[in-house]
Amino acid sequence: MHIAVVSLFPEMFSAVSEHGVTGRAVTQGKVAISHSNPRDYATDRHRTVDDRPYGGGPGMLMKIDTLRQAIAAARQAAGQGAKVIYLSPQGRRLDHGIAASLARETGLVLVAGRYEGVDERLIEAEVDEELSIGDYVLSGGELAAMVVIDTVTRQLPGVLGHAQSAQEDSFADGLLDCPHYTRPEEYQGRHVPDVLLSGNHEEIRRWRLKQALGRTSERRPDLLEGRAMTAEETELLAE
Ligand code: ADE
């Protein structure tokens, strides 16, 4: 997959392109991340990339022409049919399912805004989908774009090893994750649950599923609404 980022701050993206799971995916060629900076298309002496909003008010918007050209270059880089996403608090809220469907695209263009935002006509003309990463305001779309890059990349084939496959991620099954334990067996008077020391893989699987169900129903009951339960899940949740 090719992910072409449109941002005034491409350096920020080293956080995902040079570290951890996503950094390795880049090194292994599973994902390519390229950058397109509106500043590179500014022609005036000050390399202006912002402009005043009609109607007045505080704050500036992204200047149309430099942003449009940066998006055009990003489209080229991401390849034919690339999906153009604008990160903003007004967008559809990102979740695991959306990330999974984005992972099936061959190219993405992620537009990270700065200032008070982007001219609505540019969004209408250029953007396929507006996405939010949550109900709070960030100072720019870069962190949100990195969240998209991370969660999409880890779902690309071969990025996670078999043992930690994306199918094992919490949310892949619509549930929160179960609790995890490592050494020592006793920590500050608290013990690792016996079942995890039992070596009985079937019992361990059932215990983990029960924990995941219990946590989800306690902490995020909304996730269970409209989610079909298997007979085993219903039984474990009722136990
Ligand atoms: N840009 C600023 N805030 C944002 C948010 N919550 N989600 C996506 N992009 C944003």
Which residue type sits at 81? G
94 C-alpha to ligand 1 centroid (Å): 11
Give Cβ neighbours of residue 150 (< 8 Å, ≥ 6 apart): 16, 21, 22
Residues 139 and 26 in one domain: yes
Q: Are residues 43 and 99 in the same domain?
A: yes
Q: Please give the annotated binding residues for S-adenosyl-L-methionine, written as ranges.
A: 113, 133-138
Give domain status of residue 163, yes or no. Answer: no
Tell me the angle at which helices 231-238 and 201-219 cross, rounded to the nearest 10 degrees.
70
Amino acid identity at 190: R
In a domain, 162, yes or no: no
Residue 134 falls inside a structural domain = yes
Give the CA-trace dihedral at 129, 105, 5, 86, to 10 degrees: 10
- Which amino acid, 223? L
Judgement on whether residues 125 and 185 belong to the same structural domain of the protein: no
- 25: buried, middle or exposed (CB in 10 Å: 19+, 13-18, 0-12)? buried
Burial class (CB in 10 A: 0-12, 13-18, 19+), 44: exposed
For residue 220, is it within any domain? yes
pLDDT tens digits in sequence order for the chain, 239 residues long? 999 999 999 999 999 999 999 999 999 999 999 999 999 999 999 999 999 999 999 999 999 999 999 999 999 999 999 999 999 999 999 999 999 999 999 999 999 999 999 999 999 999 999 999 999 999 999 999 999 999 999 999 999 987 567 777 778 899 999 999 999 999 999 999 999 999 999 999 999 999 999 999 999 999 999 999 999 999 999 99
For residue 171, which of 129, 223, 111, 118 has the smallest C-alpha distance? 223
User: What is the model's pLDDT at position 163?
Assistant: 56
Q: Is residue 164 part of a domain?
A: no
- Do 94 and 143 lie in a common domain? yes
Look at residue 167 and tell me if it is in a domain.
no
Question: What is the pTM for the complete model shown?
Answer: 0.96
Residue 126 falls inside a structural domain: yes
| Number of compact structural domains in the chain | 2
Domain CATH code at residue 138: 3.40.1280.10
Range of the domain at 47: 2-153
The residue whose CA is least distant from atom 7 of ligand 1 is 132
Work out whether strand 190-191 and strand 186-187 pair parallel, antiparallel, or are unpaired.
antiparallel
Query: Within a domain: residue 165?
Result: no
- Residues in contact with ligand 1 by the CB-under-6-Å rule are 87-89, 132-134, 136-138, 141, 144
